[in-house]
């Protein structure tokens, strides 16, 4: 349901009115980056770290729309353990999907903010079973998406503490990417796609109930899910899409890109600094 804006854009003909015919391809994020990089697809959704990792490998993807203004990864634990801030993670057994992706990047950023390293905690790769592992006390804390697993756990009656990465380190989150060739040869296509998505994000923010209703026709099994839980997931997601302060919907923040790059360098995933001005642009949002 957190992809509601794209379903709204399709159902309300925002794509069509912009001269676009869009097909949704539910693939892994890294596959989307690779396909856009080779110009087999014009657009995909990707988080900031995937863009930087791809560009270091010579894959010419460019981030053109910051859909999520705040990084949604967080660490959660049952309140009885009193894990409330990054420093409290020292010595804690933390479950996460694996040593990859945005969850791992976000955890490292949180640890860095408290002067901790991986050696100061115990990491368990548990796949995407954070809810089950926490309920069964197989782990003390879990790396989650703040708009998903904590809502499920609270609906089950558990009291939780939540440490959001975005409260400590601004990092570039999920957004729309294209490639240098498309920008160079067909900038109007990029401009039309960005405009349609921004219109749909705005509509979803202004009318979450309407966005949810539209999603029922697109998300398999949503009609049989707990509506209250799924609605709360959507509303919490919306708060991550909103810009803070004087920020503008859809615009990237240089500080978030610089922080993301530094975390990747510290982790040894990037060999050095990249040209960030080539990695993202706000021109199409303007």
Contact 179, 62 (CB under 8 A): yes
* Tens of pLDDT, residues 210-235: 999 999 999 999 999 999 999 999 99
The pLDDT of residue 246: 60
- How do 141-145 and 93-96 pair as beta strands? parallel
Low-confidence ranges of the chain (pLDDT < 70): 245-246
- CA 89 from chain centre, in angstroms, equals 23
CA angle 163, 165, 169 (to 5 degrees): 135
Handedness of CA 147, 152, 154, 158 (dihedral sign): negative
Question: pLDDT, tens digit, for every residue of 103-123?
Answer: 999 999 999 999 999 999 999
Q: What is the pLDDT of residue 30?
A: 86
Q: What is the pLDDT of residue 28?
A: 86
What is the per-residue DSSP string for 265-285? HHTTSSSS---HHHHB--TTT
Q: Terminal CA-to-CA distance of the chain, rounded, Å?
A: 28
- Rounded to the nearest integer, the mean pLDDT of the chain is 95
């Amino acid at each position: 349901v957190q992809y509601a804006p794209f379903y709204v854009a399709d159902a309300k003909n925002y794509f069509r009115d912009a001269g676009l015919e869009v097909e949704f391809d539910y693939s892994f994020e890294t596959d989307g980056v690779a396909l856009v990089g080779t110009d087999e697809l014009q657009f995909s959704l990707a988080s900031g770290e995937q863009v930087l990792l791809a560009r270091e490998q010579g894959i010419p993807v460019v981030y053109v729309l910051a859909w999520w203004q705040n990084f949604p990864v967080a660490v959660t634990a049952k309140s009885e353990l009193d894990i409330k801030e990054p420093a409290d993670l020292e010595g804690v057994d933390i479950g996460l999907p694996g040593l990859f992706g945005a969850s791992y990047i976000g955890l490292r950023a949180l640890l860095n903010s408290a002067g901790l390293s991986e050696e100061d905690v115990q990491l368990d790769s548990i796949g995407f079973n954070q809810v089950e592992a926490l309920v069964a006390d197989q782990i003390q804390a879990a790396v989650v998406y703040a708009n998903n697993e904590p809502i499920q756990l609270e609906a089950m009656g558990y009291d939780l503490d939540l440490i959001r990465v975005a409260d400590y380190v601004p990092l570039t989150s999920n957004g729309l990417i294209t490639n240098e060739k498309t920008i160079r040869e067909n900038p109007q296509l990029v401009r039309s796609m960005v405009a349609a998505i921004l219109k749909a994000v705005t509509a979803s923010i202004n009318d979450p109930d309407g966005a949810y209703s539209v999603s029922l026709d697109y998300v398999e099994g949503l009609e049989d899910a707990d509506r209250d839980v799924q609605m709360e997931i959507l509303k919490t997601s919306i708060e991550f899409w909103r810009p803070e302060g004087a920020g503008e919907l859809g615009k990237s923040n240089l500080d978030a890109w610089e922080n993301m790059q530094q975390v990747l360098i510290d982790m040894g995933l990037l060999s050095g600094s990249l040209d960030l001005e080539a990695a993202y642009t706000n021109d199409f949002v303007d």
